[in-house]
A and B are shown apart, each in its own frame.
Chain A
Amino acid sequence: MKAFDYAAPASLPEAVGLLASQPSARLLAGGTDLLVQLRSGRKDADVVIDVKKIPELNEISFNPADGLTIGAAVPCYRLTADAAIQSHYPALVEVASWIGGTQIQGRASLGGNLCNSAPSADSIPLLIALGATALIAGPAGRRSVPVDEFCTAPGRNQLAPGELLVSIQIPAPAPFSGAAYLRFIPRNEMDIAVVGAGASVTLSNGVISAARVALSSVAPTPLFVPAAGESLLNQMPTAEALEAAAKIAQEAASPISDMRGTAAYRRHLCAVMVRRALELAVARAQEIN
């Protein structure tokens, strides 16, 4: 690892100012991706800007009207311990507890997971299913981008030079709604998703009134499949309906073969994992409220 300069701004304006003068700087929250990439030579850095000391990036806030705001540097262990998240976003607690092991969760953040923009990112399909948006700050001020549009290629995203992620905003859960993220790994922990599936479902009088489906590890970016969710609208959540939605998601996938699985196996898993995620989301929608 080459030597680099390190800065830890204490406010968002200071960070934006620093970034304006060092547009190639690497941003560090927990560092669980960046430091590994620097050590292995996959990335290099002249300047690293640590965003952990910025108060706004460390906030978690929830209210029933606006929903949930998660600061970009909030580590996973704070999400899993948060009472409001436990009660309103149980799937988010699961995802935060699956990213790395206990030590990693003390550092790793959902903001970092989003900005690392890996096709296999565990949190992104769920954030897409939940309809989350990314709040971005930069030299031109602030802007919001839907998470389903945030990633543009493996390791690439909508952040322009000089911009940084401030927070992830998730709408308040609708009554009779549920969400889930499931990933397939050959082991029980500490692995990268061969296929991941996020799903959310809202029921009105037992009929599906809203649904969103997204996949990980089957395309160059986490993949939002609007048609899968739309196919469920005005349907009862029957096994056939969920299976049909899962097939639509499977058709949208364009997996590759690599050391984590063959394309054929991933394609097969798409249908299995989406169906199972939908089943869990429906069960949650039926049990709460």
Chain B
Amino acid sequence: MSTTTYNVIGTRPVRHDGADKVTGRALYGADLQLARMIHGAVLRSPHAHARILRIDTSKAEAFPGVFAVVTAADFPEAPADKIVDFGEGDTMLSSLRGNILASGKVLYSGHAVAAVAAVNAHVAAEAAALIEVDYEPLPCVLTAPEAMAPGAPILHDDLPNGNVAELIRYEMGDLDAGFAEATVIVERELDTATVHQGYIEPQNATAFWSSDGRIHIWCSTQGSFVARDASAAVLDVPVSQVKVTPMEIGGGFGGKINVYLEPVAAMLSKKAGRPVKLVMSRRDVFTGTGPTPGSRVRVKIGVNDAGKITAAQAWLAYEAGAYPGAMVGPGAMTVFACYDIPNVLIEGFDVVVNKPSTAAYRAPGAPNSALATETVLDEIAEKLGLDPLELRLRNAAQEGTRRADGPRYKRIGCIEVLEAMKASPHYNAPLPGPNCGRGVAIGFWFNAGLPSSATLSVNADGTVNLIEGSTDIGGSRTSLSMQAAEVLGLRAEDIHPTIVDTDSVGYTGVTGGSRTTFSTGLAVHDAAQIVVEQMKARAARLWAVDEVAFSNGVFSANGQSFTFAELAAQLGATGGPVSCSATVNPKGVGGSIAGLIIDVKVDPETGKTDVLRVTSVQDAGKAIHPAYVEGQMQGGTAQGIGWALNEEYFMDTAGDMRNGSYLDYRMPTALDLPMIETIIVEVPNPGHPFGVRGVGEANIVPPLAAVANALYRATGKRLNRVPMNPATILGL
């Protein structure tokens, strides 16, 4: 456990962007106003699968107030086999471009087909409705098992295995021998529905394609450099021709890594010669961006009399949506990631279906697979008469444990999280009465490294400006400033963070993979150390000494001393300003384990679930700003509970989403959840100077299974599909 003492890290300063956010002064993409700006609308497919026979834009182009109309024909052709990678894995450029504006076929209801720019958004929408598209409707397929079946409608002619885009297989030990040693074997198959991240702020993009060829994009994105690189690839221009200014972001959860509107706004601007703004409606967000895959996962686990897992097998089929790239890889890698298991076989299938192309969502792929593993373990614990946490403790992964996909863990906090759950007040409290049940589950997420950059400039008044490129979703301005302050011996308030455009800071990966406090934090840490060295040199010059010590914000040598501010005031006279940058590409990523304890009460007449008490436990490595860590834990838990109980894309048989609004999508509101209790566990990551692991994602992995296990205790039923909504609880 963490023992180092810090001055700033671990405290709870007010966030730097707090005043702007609570007074409404913070500028989001939809707030942007530019001189001569015009507005766009996107025409979307009403069909889940159809051939485009003809697109006639002439009436829209002739409509008064219209400046430009674009279709896929306006974009450069994508070479058939060109692969692009923006730090999140390989993608076919043709898929990326095909999803931006359909050509040849539409592959889901909501697939963008054309776009219009006009004097205002209403005129643009009216004109878009005048675009004539002749479709030849094709049969659609909406689930992975159906898409894998013989005779299923085929989405892409160029995939070698029908609708299966990728097959993953991880194998370790001897599976048959392992199951032969087991005395209890349980196998279950569980389905999950397609769900959306549910960020508040819809996607938006404003672009201006200048007559000199420079393209400036303002958007809501988790990664300005990824948005730049993806837009440049779609538009087939060099990355240096594009500048992305990230606006404030109203939630992303993985869903704002991909580009949707940016290249369309740019192409409209090129044709119109004016800045063009595009803003999605809520329905556009549901049907035109990337939800997380629906899935079918089958898990079989064998345990011996001692409660040790002897073998485990998993079969996973994830719905990628229209283009390859379901998160089945991470689903397969995490399915048994919490446990030390000698004999393992994992098979994963990435399956295309006629639904929106899926995107990342908070620990993408892991909740789906953990649902199966953690409910099977619950059943095994019951059969063995073991406490469910005790069964997990007997099999918990630890330093040196090898995962079936290859890596061996460095220091990891699985046992510590389980012990904290076991010792928690919640786990030791009685349930309040009949029809109540308590469930537990744990989950793992890798977290990510990826490059980050930061610049620190010392002001003459002793404060420091921090220039960085990580868009701030969860309070990273402050968690980064705190790391700079810790190194520099300053207060968090003495650091002034600014998030700048892609021309103004070194390359920085996405705010995703729980990596910002870790990776950009490391860049800030390294830059701050350079600042300290340069400041020491200035003090040495002033004092004419060779060695200067620095501790708690004070430079000293031979009985003389300067505070940071005193020395900062003398920089001008000692050689000029101090401004230091660092770019990192760290390898010492530390995975995070999270656990959940949840109590529910089920109305036996209506099947309605009330959530009574929830405790989220997570290994943060080191909590830089504990309040923000708690916020991440509570947010991931709330999303996971919504996913477990009521959320789903409700599609009709033609593949049209019938509940594309927050009225009917049924995310939990503040009235549906109690205050979520949190227990932060700190097992420092040896790969980060402050021990940071990253906390944004692991917390969403346990809730699906924990809710399912709690419902079982409350009702005596084990359901095999998420969402476990009131009707399914009653079997109606």
Within the complex, which residue of B122, B283, B605, B725 is in contact with A272, where a contact is CB–CB below 8 Å?
B605
Kindly identify, within residues 562 to 580 of chain B, every residue whose CB is under 8 Å from any CB belonging to chain A. Answer: none
Question: Is B126 within 8 A of A2, CB to CB?
Answer: yes
Instruction: Please tell me if B417 contacts chain A, counting CB pairs below 8 Å.
Output: no
Q: How far is the CB of B450 from chain A (nearest CB, A)?
A: 37
Question: Is B664 within 8 A of A260, CB to CB?
Answer: yes
**Interface of chain B: mostly helix, strand, loop or mixed:** loop
The CA of A272 and the CA of B606, in the complex, are separated in Å by 8
Within 8 Å CB of A259, what residues of B? 650, 658-659, 664
Q: How many pairs of A and B residues are in contact by the CB < 8 Å rule? A: 56
Within 8 Å CB of B125, what residues of A? 1
Interface-side segment among A48-56, A156-164, A184-192, A227-235: A184-192
Instruction: Please tell me if B377 contacts chain A, counting CB pairs below 8 Å.
Output: no
Within 8 Å CB of B605, what residues of A? 272
Within the complex, which residue of A40, A184, A262 is in contact with B606, where a contact is CB–CB below 8 Å?
A184
Digit string of B626-658 for contact with A (CB within 8 Å is 1, else 0)?
000000000000000000011000100000001
Within the complex, which residue of B122, B726, B730 is in contact with A2, where a contact is CB–CB below 8 Å?
B122
| Among A190, A192, A264, A272, residue most surrounded by chain B Cβ atoms (within 10 Å) | A190
Instruction: Please tell me if A90 contacts chain B, counting CB pairs below 8 Å.
Output: no
Within 8 Å CB of B126, what residues of A? 2
The CA of A261 and the CA of B671, in the complex, are separated in Å by 21
Instruction: Please tell me if B85 contacts chain A, counting CB pairs below 8 Å.
Output: no
Instruction: Please tell me if A5 contacts chain B, counting CB pairs below 8 Å.
Output: no
Within 8 Å CB of A143, what residues of B? none
The CA of A272 and the CA of B523, in the complex, are separated in Å by 60
Digit string of A180-217 for contact with B (CB within 8 Å is 1, else 0)?
00001011111110100000000000000000000000
Kindly identify, within residues 254 to 280 of chain A, every residue whose CB is under 8 Å from any CB belonging to chain B. Answer: 258-262, 264-265, 268-269, 272
The CA of A186 and the CA of B669, in the complex, are separated in Å by 11
Within 8 Å CB of B725, what residues of A? 186
Instruction: Please tell me if B663 contacts chain A, counting CB pairs below 8 Å.
Output: yes
Within the complex, which residue of A191, A265, A272 is in contact with B666, where a contact is CB–CB below 8 Å?
A191
Question: Is B663 within 8 A of A184, CB to CB?
Answer: no
Output the nearest chain A residue to B605 by Cβ-Cβ distance.
Answer: A272
Q: How far is the CB of B307 from chain A (nearest CB, A)?
A: 37
Within 8 Å CB of B606, what residues of A? 184, 269, 272
Within 8 Å CB of A260, what residues of B? 664
Question: Is B726 within 8 A of A186, CB to CB?
Answer: yes
Question: Is A188 within 8 A of B732, CB to CB?
Answer: no
Kindly identify, within residues 591 to 624 of chain B, every residue whose CB is under 8 Å from any CB belonging to chain A. Answer: 605-608
Digit string of A154-182 for contact with B (CB within 8 Å is 1, else 0)?
00000000000000000000000000000
Question: Is B669 within 8 A of A189, CB to CB?
Answer: yes
Within 8 Å CB of A1, what residues of B? 122, 125
Question: Is B730 within 8 A of A268, CB to CB?
Answer: yes
Q: How far is the CB of A144 from chain B (nearest CB, A)?
A: 33
* A258-B666 contact, Cβ under 8 Å, with A2-B126, A184-B606: no
Kindly identify, within residues 264 to 288 of chain B, every residue whose CB is under 8 Å from any CB belonging to chain A. Answer: 283
Question: Is A192 within 8 A of B669, CB to CB?
Answer: no
Question: Is A191 within 8 A of B663, CB to CB?
Answer: yes
The CA of A1 and the CA of B605, in the complex, are separated in Å by 43
Instruction: Please tell me if A65 contacts chain B, counting CB pairs below 8 Å.
Output: no
> How many residues belonging to B are interface residues under a CB distance threshold of 8 Å?
25
Instruction: Please tell me if B675 contacts chain A, counting CB pairs below 8 Å.
Output: no
Kindly identify, within residues 107 to 136 of chain B, every residue whose CB is under 8 Å from any CB belonging to chain A. Answer: 122, 125-126
Output the nearest chain A residue to B282 by Cβ-Cβ distance.
Answer: A40
The CA of A2 and the CA of B606, in the complex, are separated in Å by 43
Within 8 Å CB of A194, what residues of B? 726
Question: Is B664 within 8 A of A184, CB to CB?
Answer: no
Question: Is B671 within 8 A of A188, CB to CB?
Answer: yes
Question: Is A268 within 8 A of B732, CB to CB?
Answer: yes
Within 8 Å CB of B659, what residues of A? 259
Output the nearest chain A residue to B121 by Cβ-Cβ distance.
Answer: A1
Question: Is B645 within 8 A of A192, CB to CB?
Answer: no
> How many residues belonging to A are interface residues under a CB distance threshold of 8 Å?
23
**Interface of chain A: mostly helix, strand, loop or mixed:** loop
Within 8 Å CB of B646, what residues of A? 186-187
Within 8 Å CB of B732, what residues of A? 262, 264-265, 268
Instruction: Please tell me if A140 contacts chain B, counting CB pairs below 8 Å.
Output: no
Question: Is A188 within 8 A of B727, CB to CB?
Answer: no
Instruction: Please tell me if A3 contacts chain B, counting CB pairs below 8 Å.
Output: yes
The CA of A269 and the CA of B725, in the complex, are separated in Å by 14
Within 8 Å CB of A272, what residues of B? 605-606
Instruction: Please tell me if B13 contacts chain A, counting CB pairs below 8 Å.
Output: no
Within 8 Å CB of B664, what residues of A? 192, 259-260
Within 8 Å CB of B669, what residues of A? 187-190
Q: How far is the CB of B239 from chain A (nearest CB, A)?
A: 38
* A261-B727 contact, Cβ under 8 Å, with A186-B646, A187-B646: yes
Instruction: Please tell me if B547 contacts chain A, counting CB pairs below 8 Å.
Output: no
Question: Is B726 within 8 A of A190, CB to CB?
Answer: no
Q: How far is the CB of B96 from chain A (nearest CB, A)?
A: 30
The CA of A136 and the CA of B499, in the complex, are separated in Å by 59
* A190-B663 contact, Cβ under 8 Å, with A3-B122, A259-B650, A262-B732: yes
Q: How far is the CB of A204 from chain B (nearest CB, A)?
A: 30
Within the complex, which residue of B607, B658, B663, B672 is in contact with A188, where a contact is CB–CB below 8 Å?
B672
Within 8 Å CB of A268, what residues of B? 730, 732
The CA of A187 and the CA of B125, in the complex, are separated in Å by 34
Instruction: Please tell me if B668 contacts chain A, counting CB pairs below 8 Å.
Output: yes
Q: How far is the CB of B195 from chain A (nearest CB, A)?
A: 14
Within the complex, which residue of B122, B645, B663, B730 is in contact with A265, where a contact is CB–CB below 8 Å?
B730
Within 8 Å CB of A2, what residues of B? 122, 126
Within the complex, which residue of B607, B658, B668 is in contact with A187, where a contact is CB–CB below 8 Å?
B668
Within the complex, which residue of A3, A190, A191, A262 is in contact with B727, where a contact is CB–CB below 8 Å?
A262
Q: How far is the CB of B277 from chain A (nearest CB, A)?
A: 17
The CA of A89 and the CA of B617, in the complex, are separated in Å by 47
Within 8 Å CB of B666, what residues of A? 186-187, 191
Q: How far is the CB of B45 from chain A (nearest CB, A)?
A: 16
Within 8 Å CB of B607, what residues of A? 265
* A189-B608 contact, Cβ under 8 Å, with A259-B650, A265-B732: no
Digit string of B290-317 for contact with A (CB within 8 Å is 1, else 0)?
0000000000000000000000000000
Kindly identify, within residues 650 to 694 of chain B, every residue whose CB is under 8 Å from any CB belonging to chain A. Answer: 650, 658-659, 663-664, 666, 668-669, 671-672
The CA of A262 and the CA of B728, in the complex, are separated in Å by 10
Q: How far is the CB of A189 from chain B (nearest CB, A)?
A: 5
Digit string of A130-148 for contact with B (CB within 8 Å is 1, else 0)?
0000000000000000000
Within 8 Å CB of A187, what residues of B? 646, 666, 668-669, 671-672
Output the nearest chain A residue to B657 by Cβ-Cβ distance.
Answer: A259
Output the nearest chain A residue to B659 by Cβ-Cβ distance.
Answer: A259
| Among B607, B671, B672, B727, residue most surrounded by chain A Cβ atoms (within 10 Å) | B727
Within 8 Å CB of A269, what residues of B? 606
The CA of A265 and the CA of B608, in the complex, are separated in Å by 12
Output the nearest chain B residue to A264 by Cβ-Cβ distance.
Answer: B732
Within 8 Å CB of A40, what residues of B? 283
The CA of A265 and the CA of B725, in the complex, are separated in Å by 11
Within 8 Å CB of A190, what residues of B? 663, 669, 671
Output the nearest chain B residue to A188 by Cβ-Cβ distance.
Answer: B671
Q: How far is the CB of A83 from chain B (nearest CB, A)?
A: 27
* Sample (25) of A-B pairs whose CB atoms are under 8 Å apart: A1-B122, A1-B125, A184-B606, A184-B726, A186-B645, A186-B646, A186-B726, A187-B669, A188-B669, A188-B671, A188-B672, A190-B663, A190-B669, A191-B666, A192-B663, A192-B664, A260-B664, A261-B727, A262-B727, A265-B726, A265-B727, A265-B732, A268-B730, A269-B606, A272-B606
Q: Which 4 A-B pairs have the closest CB atoms?
A: A259-B650, A265-B732, A265-B727, A259-B659
Chain A residues engaging chain B, CB cutoff 8 angstroms:
1-3, 40, 184, 186-192, 194, 258-262, 264-265, 268-269, 272
Known: A184-B726, A186-B666. 4 other contacts (CB 8 A): A184-B608, A186-B725, A192-B664, A264-B732
Chain B residues engaging chain A, CB cutoff 8 angstroms:
122, 125-126, 283, 605-608, 645-646, 650, 658-659, 663-664, 666, 668-669, 671-672, 725-727, 730, 732
